[in-house]
């Protein structure tokens, strides 16, 4: 009995990947293929395979076999290349299988990467950087616009743009994203900072302190509002928010008046913030007495 399978595909892809299992456009029948006749796709978007999860899948395959066939492209009579299912292929080798059930598709070289990307995005957990790199590969190799790529893979253009922006982050942040040390939410928050040095500093602090996405968003927002923050024992100021001479004089005046290092920030739009730190309850009481005295003189 044929098993129906459905994919959330983009427009115009029905001729490329059909919903039929056995007889499809550009596809022959399902077959058992010897594992030693199969090679991996060098343009496969997925680069990392969790060894523990892979072994768990291998144990499952050894017990009950392959549930979902992999998808192959026939190169010649004795050679096949993986379009989708490299994880199942690797796990089958670990499980000691000699053959694996597979859908055999005929596809032009220029379509293989596209098919692999679509299949994997729909059915496997690619990390966000792998997706971004795959999108970039498609755009560059096939000279696609983001809008055209959106139509081909059934994703919103804004979604594609957000992934591609990740490739503008400094390399250490991209590596951390790939290794899942931070989430895409952290990375997107860091992207709003213009200065790469600040991106790195906040990133390092995020990893060291285990900041949540919300916390990083708050830090970035504070910098965007012209505030200074402490990070790694250093004060970080937003780029282009240097106080004018007039405001610097006012800040010094407030520091002398309250007897503590008052922080003053101001954006280009004239919005700002005054922060008066205190070192103890007694210091806070002293500052409150100063403010109370000002109120009495009104």
- What CATH number labels 108-166? 1.10.10.2830
The model carries a pTM of 0.51
Q: Where in the chain is the domain with CATH 3.90.1530.30?
A: 28-106
Question: Six-digit token pair at 58?
Answer: 């291998």
Residue the block writes with tokens 């790939």: 178
Phi and psi at residue 240, to the nearest 5°: 80, 20
Element (H, E) at 259: none
Q: Is 86 a catalytic residue?
A: yes
Q: Where in the chain is the domain with CATH 1.10.10.2830?
A: 108-166
CA 285 to chain centre: 47
Instruction: Compute, in degrees rounded to 10, the torsion defined by CA atoms 211, 215, 216, 218.
Output: -160
What is the per-residue pLDDT across 138-156, written as a single tens digit (0 to 9) for each?
887 778 889 988 888 788 9
Task: Using DSSP bridges, classify how beta strands 70-76 and 234-237 pair: parallel, antiparallel or unpaired.
Answer: unpaired
Task: Using DSSP bridges, classify how beta strands 70-76 and 27-34 pair: parallel, antiparallel or unpaired.
Answer: unpaired
State yes or no: pLDDT of 177 exceeds 70. yes
Share of the chain above pLDDT 90, in %: 18
What is the per-residue pLDDT across 8-20, written as a single tens digit (0 to 9) for each?
333 333 333 233 3
> Which of 48, 56, 63, 86 is an active site residue?
86
Distance CA 134, CA 126 (A): 10
CATH fold of 28-106 reads 3.90.1530
Distance CA 139, CA 146 (A): 7
Cβ count near 89 (within 10 Å) = 21
């Amino acid at each position: 009995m044929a098993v129906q399978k459905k994919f959330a595909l983009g427009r115009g892809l029905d001729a490329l990947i059909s919903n039929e299992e056995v007889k499809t456009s550009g596809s022959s029948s399902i077959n058992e293929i010897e594992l030693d006749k199969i090679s991996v796709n060098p343009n496969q978007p997925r680069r990392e395979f969790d060894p523990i999860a892979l072994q768990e899948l291998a144990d499952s395959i050894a017990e009950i076999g392959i549930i979902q066939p992999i998808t192959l492209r026939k190169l010649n009579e004795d050679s096949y290349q993986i379009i989708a299912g490299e994880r199942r292929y690797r796990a089958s080798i670990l499980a000691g299988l000699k053959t694996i059930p597979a859908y055999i598709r005929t596809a032009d070289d220029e379509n293989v990467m596209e098919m692999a990307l679509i299949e994997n995005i729909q059915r496997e957990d690619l990390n966000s950087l792998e997706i971004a790199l795959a999108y970039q590969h498609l755009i560059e190799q096939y000279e696609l616009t983001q809008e055209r790529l959106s139509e081909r893979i059934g994703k919103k253009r804004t979604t594609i743009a957000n992934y591609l922006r990740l490739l503008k982050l400094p390399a250490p942040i991209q590596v951390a994203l790939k290794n899942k040390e931070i989430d895409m939410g952290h990375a997107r928050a860091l992207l709003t900072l213009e200065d790469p040095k600040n991106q790195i500093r906040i990133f390092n602090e995020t990893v060291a302190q285990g900041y949540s996405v919300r916390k990083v968003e708050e830090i970035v927002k504070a910098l965007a509002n012209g505030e200074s923050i402490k990070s790694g024992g250093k004060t970080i100021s937003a780029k282009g928010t240097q106080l004018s001479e007039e405001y610097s004089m006012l800040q010094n005046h407030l520091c002398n008046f309250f007897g503590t290092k008052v922080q003053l920030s101001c954006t280009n739009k004239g919005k700002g913030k005054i922060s008066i730190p205190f070192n103890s309850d007694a210091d806070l009481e002293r500052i409150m007495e100063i403010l109370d005295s000002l109120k009495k003189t009104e």
